[in-house]
Amino acid sequence: MATDPKPFKPAFWLKNPHLQTFWPYLFRFRPKPNYQRERVVLPDNDFIDLDWLKQPSSVKPKAIVLLIHGLQGCSQSHYIRGFACRLYQADYHVVAVNLRGRSGEMNRQPIFYHAGYSPDLDFLIRKINTDFPCLNLNAIAVSLGGSMLLNWLADTNDATQLINSAAVISVPYLLASCAKRMETGISRIYQFHLVSSLKKATREKLTQMELPNILPSWPQSKTFFEFDDAVTSRLHGFDNVSDYYQKASIKHRLTNISNPLLLIQAKDDPFMSDNVIPNPNHLNSNTLLEVYEHGGHVGFVSANGLKPYYWLDQRLINFFERTD
């Protein structure tokens, strides 16, 4: 039975956005899900690895929940592992996606993934529906993965027949604004870490194949703008970074989504500024927008007294119990 959702209230010692962001990464106990891996071959002969937590035969699963990680994440990311274990405890089948190149083995094609890339999600979602025709499929997506899922929901005519409901957290709804924000203050630390990871993946892929159209300046990239202009946009068929950011930003197309939808965002997210957050007056009635003063980027750490707990876990379960 679903309980009434409680609004997020940060632990009193975690009102700083960077503490909210770092705390789960550094201090959350990371349960290790006993995943079962399924390799899915894509239409272009590339592959994506899915990691499953399936209920035993003695338990009737409530539904399936698809988990989609953020930029340079994977099924082992702390937030994915946390979601997976809590959902499994709540009697859901769970399937965590490892996007191209993120399962521990480099993918076969030159492309990776990006904020507006949805063909792989489309293929996976249709496959899961075919394999489990008697179970609803829900989805949780984080950060850039949330942008990918929202683009798919907005662009897919039969999305309501394939996804029962979806929840996204800390999404970069306007990519150019987010990239600009990441060039300021402490946010530059996150940018350095993520751009360095992207460059490492690019170097690894170049040892295996040519990457058409990327700019020779890519090794000097220090910002998201520079890397996305030199690599991401060119590799995935965009003219340049401006073309990519304009076409992949989802903020102004949210009204195209008809599925029950939960959007969770923090005003103090160090990855973005306030202008990124959708206007609740410009959303469909099926969309629930929750915006909190605190929470950081995929943080949302609350507390019972001095004991921290991860508010997102129960909030997401509550949402699905109300929509299934």
**pLDDT tens-digit profile of 274-295?**
899 999 988 999 999 999 999 9
In the chain, at which residue ranges do the beta strands (DSSP E only) sit?
36-41, 47-53, 64-68, 93-98, 137-142, 165-169, 261-266, 287-292, 301-304, 307-310
* Domain identity same for 191 and 161: no
Average pLDDT (206-231) is 97
Task: Please report the pLDDT score of residue 188 as a whole number.
Answer: 97
Q: Return the CATH number at 308.
A: 3.40.50.1820
* Domain identity same for 113 and 198: no
Of 203, 227, 248, the position where a domain reaches its end is: 248
The CA distances from residue 49 to 37, 62, 105, 222, 316, in Å, are: 7, 23, 9, 30, 24
Average pLDDT (29-44) is 93
Query: Residue 64: is its pLDDT beyond 90?
Result: yes
Of 230, 248, 266, the position where a domain reaches its end is: 248
Kindly name the residue from 77, 143, 249, 302 that is annotated as catalytic.
143
* Domain identity same for 115 and 254: yes
* Domain identity same for 308 and 237: no
* Domain identity same for 89 and 116: yes
Tens digits of per-residue pLDDT, 76-130? Answer: 999 999 999 999 999 999 999 999 999 999 999 999 999 999 999 999 999 999 9
Average pLDDT (150-162) is 98
**Distance separating alpha carbons of residues 320 and 165, to the nearest angstrom:** 7
* Domain identity same for 127 and 141: yes
Burial grade of 145 (CB within 10 A; 0-12, 13-18, 19 or more): buried
Has residue 1 been placed in a domain?
no
Tokens of 260: 């029950």
Task: Please report the pLDDT score of residue 291 as a whole number.
Answer: 97
Q: pLDDT band for 28, please (50, 70, 90 cuts).
A: confident
* Domain identity same for 82 and 160: yes
Q: Residue 292, SS3?
A: strand
Average pLDDT (237-253) is 98
Main-chain phi, psi angles of 51, to 5 degrees:
-115, 120
The whole-model pTM stands at 0.96
Kindly name the residue from 269, 294, 302, 313 that is annotated as catalytic.
269
Q: Any idea what DSSP says for residue 69?
A: -
Known catalytic residue at 78: no
More confident residue, 6 or 198: 198
Query: Residue 186: is its pLDDT beyond 70?
Result: yes
Has residue 315 been placed in a domain?
yes
Of all residues in the chain, what percent carry a pLDDT higher than 90?
Answer: 94
Q: In this structure, are residues 66 and 127 in contact, taking their beta carbons and an 8 Å threshold?
A: no
Task: Give the structural domain span for 76.
Answer: 17-174+250-323
* Domain identity same for 150 and 196: no
Known catalytic residue at 193: no
Task: Please report the pLDDT score of residue 220 as a whole number.
Answer: 98
* Domain identity same for 185 and 260: no
Number of domains in the chain: 2
Q: In this structure, are residues 262 and 317 in contact, taking their beta carbons and an 8 Å threshold?
A: no
Of 208, 225, 248, the position where a domain reaches its end is: 248
Has residue 10 been placed in a domain?
no
Has residue 180 been placed in a domain?
yes
* Domain identity same for 220 and 285: no
* Domain identity same for 218 and 124: no
Task: Please report the pLDDT score of residue 2 as a whole number.
Answer: 47
Has residue 193 been placed in a domain?
yes
Has residue 9 been placed in a domain?
no
Tens digits of per-residue pLDDT, 308-322? Answer: 999 999 999 999 999
Tokens of 144: 């850039």
**Distance separating alpha carbons of residues 1 and 59, to the nearest angstrom:** 16
Kindly name the residue from 75, 147, 297, 302 that is annotated as catalytic.
297
Query: Count of residues for the chain?
Result: 324
Has residue 12 been placed in a domain?
no
Task: Please report the pLDDT score of residue 182 as a whole number.
Answer: 98
* Domain identity same for 136 and 220: no
Average pLDDT (137-166) is 98
Q: What is the mean pLDDT of the chain?
A: 96
Known catalytic residue at 269: yes
Tens digits of per-residue pLDDT, 2-21? Answer: 445 689 999 999 999 999 99
Has residue 3 been placed in a domain?
no
